[in-house]
Copies of this chain bind each other. A is one copy, B any other.
């Protein structure tokens, strides 16, 4: 049911499908294959996407409704509406608040992205190397991929911002009251799926001695490793 992404990174749709128990198969695509695959599904170019990307993955094609949906938030909202008797990721009264959570998600991505863009480059296939280098170097004002990751004082600032953000997120979860382990309280919701997908992304793409991964391991007394562990039952891959 899902068409995964070349880098096997942001898995929020796969998590949602697993949590909801919706069966699917995955088609992996490389960067150069994204646009032709999306066009084949009849999808128009995105508007206002991150970094103005016109075609993105994940995208799903649902054979039950013969609909294609792109953008992980739109996909997970679609799944919720189309399959209402499955694990709820958008309980009543939380849809607008969870949409607003985009701001946190974007802030996480913007904080870690410069530090891992070169790590991503090393994972893309041969045909994608030139495309990835040209576009990502342009995003950073024509700085060479090898030089984008912040160093020295700048890196210290990023680490501080990342730890502050993790601290804030932990504090917000704790604001749910005693026993709250998730944004949804005692059960995870889409905001948790966002966080988990982002943390999985970071820990998969960056080595264990990467400064942001090290921060993640120690922040909040190690709570994030526990939090990630809670989702392991939903990260097993389907076909």
The residues of A with any CB-CB pair to B shorter than 8 Å are 77, 91-104, 107, 168-169, 171-177, 180, 182-185, 189, 191
Choose one: B95, B169, B171; the contact of A185 (CB below 8 Å). B95
User: How far does the alpha carbon of A66 sit from the alpha carbon of B96 in the complex, in Å?
Assistant: 36
Cβ contact within 8 Å between A93 and B177? no
Nearest-CB residue, chain B, relative to A181: B96
Known contacts A91-B93, A94-B93, A95-B180; is A100 also within 8 Å of B172 by CB?
yes
Choose one: B92, B96, B104, B180; the contact of A183 (CB below 8 Å). B96
User: How far does the alpha carbon of A100 sit from the alpha carbon of B98 in the complex, in Å?
Assistant: 10
Minimum C-beta distance from A126 to chain B (A): 39
Cβ contact within 8 Å between A185 and B104? no
Choose one: B95, B96, B101, B184; the contact of A100 (CB below 8 Å). B101
Cβ contact within 8 Å between B95 and A93? no
* B residues less than 8 Å from A100 (CB atoms): 97, 100-101, 104, 168-169, 172, 183, 191
Choose one: B95, B107, B177; the contact of A95 (CB below 8 Å). B177
Nearest-CB residue, chain B, relative to A164: B48
User: How far does the alpha carbon of A176 sit from the alpha carbon of B91 in the complex, in Å?
Assistant: 11
User: How far does the alpha carbon of A172 sit from the alpha carbon of B191 in the complex, in Å?
Assistant: 14
Cβ contact within 8 Å between B189 and A95? no
Q: 14 more A-B contacts (CB under 8 A) besides A93-B184, A93-B189?
A: A93-B185, A94-B94, A95-B177, A96-B183, A96-B185, A96-B191, A97-B97, A97-B101, A97-B172, A97-B189, A100-B100, A100-B168, A100-B172, A102-B172
